[in-house]
Amino acid sequence: MGQARKPKGIPLCTGRYVITIGVVVIAFVSLLSRAAYLQLYESNKLNSEANKRSVRVQGIESRRGIISDRNGIELARSIPVESLWLDPSSILANPASMYSVDWKKLATILEMQEVELSQFVKQRATKRFVWLKRKLHPEQAQLIHRLNLEGVYLQQEQRRYYPTAEISSHIVGFTGIDSSGLEGLEKAFDSLLTSNPGQKKVVVDLYRNVIENQGIITDAKDGENITLSIDSRIQALAYRELKAAVLRHGARAGSLVILDVKTGEVLAMVNQPSYNPNRRDQRKPQLTRNRAVTDMFEPGSTAKPFTVLTALENDRVKPGTLISTGPGKLKVNNNWVRDGVNLGTVSVTKILQKSSNVGVSKLALDLSDEAFLDTFYKLGFGIDTGSGFPGESSGRFNIRPNWSEFEKATMAYGYGFQVTPLQLAQAYSVIGSGGIKRPVSFLKLTKPISEERIFSERHSAQVLKMMEMVVSEGGTATGAALESYSTAGKTGTARKAIKGGYGDEYLSFFAGISPVSSPRIAMVVMIDEPEGDVYYGGDVAAPVYSKVAEQALRLLNVTPDKTEVKLASRGELING
């Protein structure tokens, strides 16, 4: 028998086995190398790409500063609203959405045609962000929230709201769509009121919902709040009375300014016509202009107290000095200066009380040019008041080097130069303060910004007493008299200048100071082009002064200074 054969063993390392192991090893090494490469060399790039898809920088909301009056009543504040924006690229990726019921609803909510809305998107096909409508009405935003439309988003913003609407609109002004000041004190103090939104980093999901906060990049900073000098109670009172007067006389426009004599603060400033700053469709230039600081007019007879004050300051006359005004006219350089009636020989006080053009012309012609003009320069005519109000006019006070005596005479009673209602109010506050000039301020003050004595207290007080006679019986402005307070003032009625001379339209105004015993307010009322036969300042503007000043002084807690009132308050006056 032959020897048995040994069974064949399984080879430990065949060629296929080696190849398989080699492939696995190579694959593993390749994956490991790729992972190492991505982790070590491509990490920044990959993180960046990931962040582009999930990490966002979001704004942290901040609010514009609040504007309030001197008593803390809000005149302007920011309220949260929502704005609508689109991602046209995302919408067009699924064009069927533009034929959906929700798309039709969106067009209806926005008061747009469906075709118009679709065309808006198609024209911006490559855009990823485009505003469709800013500052939506809350009801519109609520309805849009219910829609299920890809690429249609709402973003929270802020809209400026003005609680007192047209009553304070010319002072406060308004902001634009991006909350920057465009008019009034919103513009003047824009840098203070403007807020600085912060930024934070967040992680969002596919539907842009925030799933993680990664920290604040920059902190948000609210705008500063400002407190105005305006008293809303007096402002509303002035607005009501001025509007009533403009309507009653069929006038083209009107302005009213009240200054605090003791500080230079603007307590009220109103104009007609006015506008509602909450409605963008009313923001038209002819309505938004603050006429009290931009419009100029010849002050007419309201300038006469300044001529009298100059004569007193230069020791040319005293209040009782007699001046001949007969025969009611005066020839100067072949031109005539005329009075309404022949007053004859009267005192300087009577000249002011009866508003004699001849009398003040004689006073002016007796003064040197330098002395006469110096008063008007000191009062600030020809330069703005320094209030900082946007668009404030400087008026016009350009005197020719070789001006004639007739020009000098007419300037004595308010012709040949132009002022704004605010300038005139400041000039009268100088007389009320005993000759001290204080800068005008729209911000609440605890004390005047500065003080400059430009006239003597004695002569200023004398002119104030003379102007009190204007409001008393026999004067030209009895309609400006107050029930409880003594008043000094001067009427003015001036023809409006036109090309080549003067037209048939009038400006009626009254400038006054109350109370005389301790002046607190200086006010100017100006009515532009009253219709009909009643156009004199004493008939048109003076009654407005009376109604506003009486109540304004009570609101300011000023003690009545008329003797009759004091007696009545103690029950000692039986018959008024």
Q: What is the mean pLDDT of residues 479-508?
A: 87
Do 359 and 483 fall into the same domain?
yes
Residue 420's nearest CA partner among 277, 285, 266 is 266
* Paired strand residues for 203: 55, 212
Q: Which of 229, 274, 301, 441 is catalytic?
A: 301
d(CA 142, CA 131): 18
382-393 tens-digit pLDDT: 998 989 999 999
Do 86 and 166 fall into the same domain?
yes
497-543 tens-digit pLDDT: 777 677 778 899 999 999 999 999 999 999 999 998 888 898 999 99
Domain limit, last residue, from 227, 245, 270: 227
Q: Is the pLDDT of residue 572 over 50?
A: no
Token pair 């082009």 is found at 529
Domain limit, last residue, from 227, 248, 264: 227
Name the residue range of residue 176's domain: 59-112+124-227
Query: pLDDT confidence of 490, banded at 50, 70, 90?
Result: very high
Query: pLDDT confidence of 575, banded at 50, 70, 90?
Result: very low
Q: Tokens representing 535?
A: 């156009």
Q: Is the pLDDT of residue 232 over 70?
A: yes
pLDDT of residue 534: 86
Q: How many CB atoms lie within 10 A of CB 409?
A: 25
Burial class (CB within 10 angstroms; exposed 0-12, middle 13-18, buried 19+) of 447: exposed
> Could you give the C-alpha distances from 412 to 184, 259, 307, 309, in angstroms and in order?
34, 25, 6, 11
Is 137 contained in some domain?
Answer: yes
Q: How many domains does the chain have?
A: 2
pLDDT of residue 565: 46
Q: Tokens representing 70?
A: 């001197």
Q: Is the pLDDT of residue 185 over 60?
A: yes
Q: Is the pLDDT of residue 483 over 90?
A: yes
Q: Angle between the 101-109 and 138-145 helix axes, to the nearest 10 degrees?
A: 170
CB 347 within 8 A of CB 374: no
CB 529 within 8 A of CB 490: no
CB 405 within 8 A of CB 336: no
pLDDT of residue 576: 30
Is 425 contained in some domain?
Answer: yes
CATH of the domain at 469: 3.40.710.10
CATH of the domain at 70: 3.90.1310.10
Query: How many DSSP H helices and E strands does the chain contain?
Result: 22, 21
pLDDT averaged over the chain? 88
Do 420 and 542 fall into the same domain?
yes
Do 327 and 209 fall into the same domain?
no
Do 194 and 272 fall into the same domain?
no
Query: pLDDT confidence of 96, banded at 50, 70, 90?
Result: confident
Contacts of 199 (CB under 8 A, 6+ apart): 57, 58, 59, 60, 216, 217, 218
Is 361 contained in some domain?
Answer: yes
Is 209 contained in some domain?
Answer: yes
CA angle 53, 55, 57 (to 5 degrees): 125
13-60 tens-digit pLDDT: 677 777 888 888 888 888 887 777 767 766 666 666 666 556 666 566
d(CA 260, CA 267): 6
Is 549 contained in some domain?
Answer: yes
CB 259 within 8 A of CB 426: yes
pLDDT of residue 38: 67
The lowest-confidence range among 107-116, 336-345, 425-434 is 107-116
Do 181 and 259 fall into the same domain?
no
Domain limit, last residue, from 208, 227, 246: 227
Do 496 and 481 fall into the same domain?
yes
User: Between residues 48 and 281, which one has the greater pLDDT?
Assistant: 281
Q: What is the mean pLDDT of residues 226-232?
A: 97
Q: Is the pLDDT of residue 2 over 70?
A: no
Burial class (CB within 10 angstroms; exposed 0-12, middle 13-18, buried 19+) of 468: buried
Q: Is the pLDDT of residue 73 over 90?
A: yes
Do 217 and 263 fall into the same domain?
no
Q: Which residues of 362-399 are buried (b: 16+ CB within 10 A; e: fewer)?
A: bbbbebeeeebbbbbebbbbbebbebebbebbbbebeb
Do 257 and 369 fall into the same domain?
yes
Token pair 């003379």 is found at 466
Q: Is the pLDDT of residue 545 over 50?
A: yes
Query: pLDDT confidence of 79, banded at 50, 70, 90?
Result: confident
CB 205 within 8 A of CB 175: no
pLDDT of residue 35: 76
Do 223 and 82 fall into the same domain?
yes
Do 237 and 361 fall into the same domain?
yes
pLDDT of residue 497: 74
Is 444 contained in some domain?
Answer: yes
DSSP 390: T
CB 538 within 8 A of CB 509: no
Is 48 contained in some domain?
Answer: no
Q: Is the pLDDT of residue 570 over 50?
A: no
CB 220 within 8 A of CB 61: yes
Do 293 and 182 fall into the same domain?
no
Q: What is the mean pLDDT of residues 183-206?
A: 82
pLDDT of residue 11: 62
Q: Is the pLDDT of residue 205 over 90?
A: no
Known catalytic residue: 393?
no
Is 34 contained in some domain?
Answer: no
Residue 347's nearest CA partner among 303, 312, 299 is 312
Q: Tokens representing 177?
A: 């769509």
Q: Is the pLDDT of residue 401 over 70?
A: yes
- Start-to-end CA span in the chain (Å): 166
DSSP 229: S
